[in-house]
Amino acid sequence: MHTVNTTTANPSRPQMETCCITPGTRADYDALAHLHYRGGPPATIARSRDGMPAILTARDEDGRLAGVLVVSMPTLNGSWRSLAWPGAYTSGDKRRDALEINRTLRCISRVIVDPRFRGQGVARTLVRTYLDEPLTPRTEAIAAMGHVCPFFAAAGMTAYPLPPSARDARLLDALASVGLEPWELLESRGAARTLDSHPWLSREARTWAGGSPSTRRHKDAEPLSLLMLAASHAGQRPIAYAHGG
C-alpha cells in the first residue's frame, strides 16, 4: 500500500489528508467506469505479476473509492513509438516486433477519478505509483483530453501530440472550407445556424460517425446533435504519453 499526503483548495469537496493506493479489482473499475469519457471498457485488462487484474485504486483515509487506474495490453500499431523508442519495434519482422511489444510494453488505458475528489492530485498519484513499479520496462498511454488534463505529464511521462485521425481530418477540412473551427459548433444555436447555412455538413457528420465502431450507432442521429458530437470529438487533439527507456 502506498500512502501519499494530499491537499485541496476546494472546501466544497471531501478533504483528503492522505491518498492510499492499493491493488484493485474489476468491481472497483466498474464502480467508476460510467464517469470516463470513453464509452465501453478497455479492450483488455493486463495481469499483474500475481495473476490478478492490473488495477490500482486510490482511497481516502475513510476507505472511500476516489479513483482507479487500469493497465491494458498495448495495441500492435502506434505511430508515436518510433519517436518514444526509436528502432525498438521496427525490425521489419512483424512477428518479432509484436512479441517485443507484448514483452516490454503495457498501456495505461483508464484513469478515472470520482468528481468529488478531483483537483487533489489523485490521477497524478495513481499514474506515478504505477510508474514506480511498472509491469514492463516501458509504459504508454493515449489521452484524448491530454491538453485539458495533463496529469500523465505531471506524473513524469513524455507527451507526443498525435495527428488527427482520417475521419477527424476530413471533418476539420470541411469546417475549414466554410471558415469554422470545431469549438464554434459546441453551442446549439451556433451549430443550428451553421446547418441552416451549410446543410451538407450533416452528411459530413454522418460520414464521421460511420468512420469508427465507437460512434457508428450515432450515424442516424438527429443532424444537429450529431454535428455537435462530431465537432466536439474532432476538436480534441489526442496525445500519446510514454515512459521508460
Residue 207 lies in a domain: yes
pLDDT interval class at 41 (50, 70, 90): confident
Q: Which range of residues forms the domain containing residue 13?
A: 2-161
Statement to judge: residues 101 and 77 lie in one domain: yes
Q: What is the mean pLDDT of residues 179-204?
A: 94
Burial of 106 (0-12, 13-18, 19+ CB in 10 A): buried
Position 8 scores a pLDDT of: 46
Residue 240 lies in a domain: no
Residue 194 lies in a domain: yes
Residue 114 lies in a domain: yes
Q: How many domains, in total, are found in the chain? A: 2
224 neighbors 190 (Cβ within 8 angstroms): no
* Least confidently predicted of 25-34, 37-46, 121-130, 187-196: 37-46
Position 52 scores a pLDDT of: 96
Statement to judge: residues 33 and 130 lie in one domain: yes
pLDDT exceeds cutoff 80 at 223: yes
154 neighbors 243 (Cβ within 8 angstroms): no
Statement to judge: residues 92 and 211 lie in one domain: no
